[in-house]
Amino acid sequence: MTRAVHPIEARSHAILRARVDLTHLPPLTRAVVERVVHASADLDYVEDLVCAESTLRAGVAALAAGAPVVADAEMVAAGITARDVVCRVRDTVADPGRTRSATAIRRALAEVGPGAVWVVGNAPTALAELLELPARPALVVGLPVGFVGAVEAKAALRASGLPAVSNRSEKGGSAVAAAAVNALLYADLPEAELPKADLVAETP
């Protein structure tokens, strides 16, 4: 998917590339890192992000095949600019013992089923809840921010074996989570280079 790039954005990316050399990274990894750094003006993400090129390719294939995108917060959903996003937090009342964000994740799974792309940029409890469910996602973008539970939830995501984008630190947030997804939505890879989308939904 292509789009017009505003001159300010082009200049911003030029400044970024002058400050850090990312040419050694594979194309999708580089795209995700650049967009996250661009969204945050934080070069620490160059070392902080954790993702694998094969996982990102599977995510691109799933998105190209029309996989649903589910967000934990409306701010995340608003930042994803090229796809309608499922976000149920506004119309959800928390179940006993769960936060509203965690409850909304559980309800969204009942709506979208397996093979979705899940994007968590706000609530560590939403990511922790997702890991407890039989979600079988195409990709989890797990970048919640916070001093309580964020590092632990992201470490649990990486330990789960699910296809994921995460980071190691307390940093994160709606803008960087949306940026990571936008990088994949706008990825311009030849169709022959993408994995089969029907295999993505079966990723454990």
Q: In this model, does residue 197 exceed pLDDT 70?
A: no
Interacting residues of 24 by C-beta distance below 8 A, sequence separation 6+: none
Pairing outcome for strands 164-167 and 139-142? parallel
Our answer to whether residue 24 is catalytic in this structure is no
Q: List, in order of start, the domains of the chain with CATH numbers.
A: 7-200 (3.40.50.10230)
pLDDT digits over 40-95, tens only? 999 999 999 999 999 999 999 999 999 999 999 999 999 998 889 999 998 888 88
Q: Which of 185, 203, 188, 191 is nearest to 84 (CA)?
A: 185
pLDDT digits over 91-113, tens only? 888 889 899 999 999 999 999 99
Q: How far apart are CA 120 and CA 105, in angstroms?
A: 10
Q: What's the confidence (pLDDT) of residue 2?
A: 56
Mean pLDDT over all residues of the chain?
89
Answer with the residue of higher pLDDT: 1 or 34. 34
